[in-house]
Amino acid sequence: MSKTRKRKSNKTWERVDGRKQDELRPIHIESGVLPNADGSAYIEMGRNKIIAGVYGPREMHPKRLSKPNEGVLRVRYHMAPFSVDPRRSPAPSRRDTEISMVMRDALEPAMFLERYPRSAIDVYVEIIQADGGTRCASINAAAVALADAGIPMKDLVAACAAGKYDGKIIVDLGDYEDKKGESDVPVAYMPKFDQVTLLQMEGIMTREETEECIKQAVEGCKKVYEIQKEALKKKYGMIQGEAAAPEPEAEAEAEPEEAPAEETQKPEGHVDVDEPEEEEKQ
Amino acid sequence: MSAKLEERSIVVPGDLIYEGKVRAGDNTYRDGGNVYATKVGLVNYSKDRVSVIALEGGYTPLVGDLVVGTVTDIELGQWLVNIDGPGDAILTVNEAIDKPFRTSLDMTQILDVGDLIVAKVVDLDRNRTPVLSILGRDLGRIHEGFVIGITPSKIPRLIGKKGSMINMILKETRCNVTIGQNGRILINGRSREDEELVERVVRKIEAEAHTSGLTNRIQEYLKAIKEEKK
């Protein structure tokens, strides 16, 4: 089957899963999936299934690793033993350590770590099912989880890979393309600053091909970015819909005068029945 | 020089919310003359500033905050208190008792590990560690009631404009409620039923904090529950 396809060559060249050259795998992101974490996200990128959990900013243990002038971002990338076939040892491998490091470096530029001296922000990423491009998918999930945790960020970080397979430049490589292809270039990108925060390359390509790969990967990142934003907003959109449904009239009444300024006030916390305090902060 | 979004629309980190010169308020930052959001939240345009009302986020201690915390450790002359912030807070003996420190003093008689306290943040020391005080009216060890936790970023919504929301809840339920800025709330009512009612209402506010006209909706919600009971 695949041989006939190849022979027809230029006209009907198709990727293994039938995607177009610049087409991403279907992506589904959900935020706030772990009730006990400060922030979390679940991503399905093709057949990748990944959960990211964020804790912090919190006190750092061991204390000697903390920095007096800024916070420390710690990322743990871990693949579940059953995430790949054959089973993988659960102990952290060389590869896990490397990906943890590049993920941290990819996420750090988007954060205001100087606001949290002596603290740590922990990101735990667990690969439940792997299908190529897990480091990109993990970065996508981690960025959404960080935003879900309410940690201030300059921008979301989106990641996407591009590479060369069968002599063609393709975007978002799957497991098969990753292994059989000539080259793989994962890129993490902050769309608002037009900044690349992760750039790795594996395999052999010419200079022109590499440049084309980066360009294509950045385009892919922009598509992912939109999905990330959607996922973060979706959580509230749903509740808003539910709440608005029962009494639409009451809401219409209250909105014009009361609503806009309501939350800007930060009165003091303590209130008694007989003596309500009405002091304002700021 | 223009607002880029509608008032109260939901933004995520990196969203452009204002083009041109304006003061960047809470949860925003300026870059190249534009203002962007840094957190998931609702945009708020006021006269001279643009800010984002955060929907998610931990507690950052500020001087003057009222907090509800747990005593986690006793050190020489001070207690360590967990207030759900980035680190533990410190409560020194001279901020806990109104008399001079004596070596014969048994600190566990005043506060022991595991005690819950209502305290005020009086200072942030040079390590930005919050320093607490329990000298003052309604501060100190909690003797009765129960404590629930919500997301700290939703506390302003629970209090409402000049306390409109919380005063309404107090009136309707006849409970004493102490709201810690760190997201812990002490509820002390005449009966367990009243306290549970407050908890239900607080949970509803937490879930719907980003919707408008909430105070009225909560009032109707409370009335509906009361009528049900009758």
The C-alpha of A54 sits at a distance from chain B's nearest C-alpha, in angstroms, of: 12
Same domain, B164 and B109: no
Q: Which residue has the tokens 């430049």?
A: A169
What is the span of the domain harbouring residue B192? 146-229
Q: What is the ipTM of this complex?
A: 0.82
For residues B104 and B110, give the distance between their C-alpha atoms in angstroms, rounded to a whole number: 13
Q: B143-175: per-residue pLDDT in tens?
A: 999 899 998 888 988 988 888 899 998 888 888
What CATH number does residue B222 fall under? 3.30.1370.10
User: Residue B92: inside a domain, yes or no?
Assistant: yes
For residues A246 and B156, give the distance between their C-alpha atoms in angstroms, rounded to a whole number: 24
Residue of chain B nearest A59, judged by CA positions:
B87
Q: Is the pLDDT of residue A36 over 50?
A: yes
User: Residue A259: inside a domain, yes or no?
Assistant: no
Which positions ≥6 away from B95 have C-beta within 8 Å? B122, B131, B132, B133, B134, B135
User: Residue B176: inside a domain, yes or no?
Assistant: yes
Same domain, B71 and B123: yes
Contact A236 B210 (CB under 8 A): yes
CB < 8 Å to B10, chain A? 233, 236-237
Q: A152-207: per-residue pLDDT in tens?
A: 999 999 999 999 999 999 999 999 999 999 999 999 999 999 999 999 999 999 99
Number of domains in chain A: 1
What CATH number does residue A168 fall under? 3.30.230.70
What CATH number does residue B97 fall under? 2.40.50.140
Phi, psi for B204 (deg, rounded to 5): -65, -40
Average predicted confidence (pLDDT) for chain A: 84
Where does a domain end: B86, B114, B141?
B141
Residue of chain A nearest B39, judged by CA positions:
A152
Where does a domain end: B141, B169, B198?
B141
Same domain, B79 and B30: no
User: Residue A254: inside a domain, yes or no?
Assistant: no
For residues B80 and B89, give the distance between their C-alpha atoms in angstroms, rounded to a whole number: 6
Same domain, B160 and B134: no
Which positions ≥6 away from B112 have C-beta within 8 Å? B71, B74
User: Residue B59: inside a domain, yes or no?
Assistant: no
What CATH number does residue B36 fall under? 2.40.50.100
Query: Could you tell me if B173 and B194 are in contact, meaning their C-beta atoms sit under 8 angstroms apart?
Result: yes
User: Residue B60: inside a domain, yes or no?
Assistant: no
Q: Is the pLDDT of residue A5 over 60?
A: no
The C-alpha of B108 sits at a distance from chain A's nearest C-alpha, in angstroms, of: 25
Where does a domain end: B27, B54, B81?
B54
Q: Is the pLDDT of residue A269 over 70?
A: no
pLDDT of residue A279: 40
Q: Which of B16, B160, B170 sits opposite A273 (nearest CB)?
A: B170
Same domain, B169 and B186: yes
Of residues B127 and B164, the one with the higher pLDDT is: B164
Q: How confident is the model at residue A266 (pLDDT cuts 50, 70, 90)?
A: very low
CB < 8 Å to B184, chain A? none
Contact B216 A239 (CB under 8 A): no
The C-alpha of B155 sits at a distance from chain A's nearest C-alpha, in angstroms, of: 8
Contact A59 B86 (CB under 8 A): yes
What is the span of the domain harbouring residue A41? 15-232
For residues A58-87, average pLDDT: 93
Same domain, B131 and B71: yes
Assigned token pair, A91? 């102990």
User: Residue B61: inside a domain, yes or no?
Assistant: no
User: Residue B77: inside a domain, yes or no?
Assistant: yes
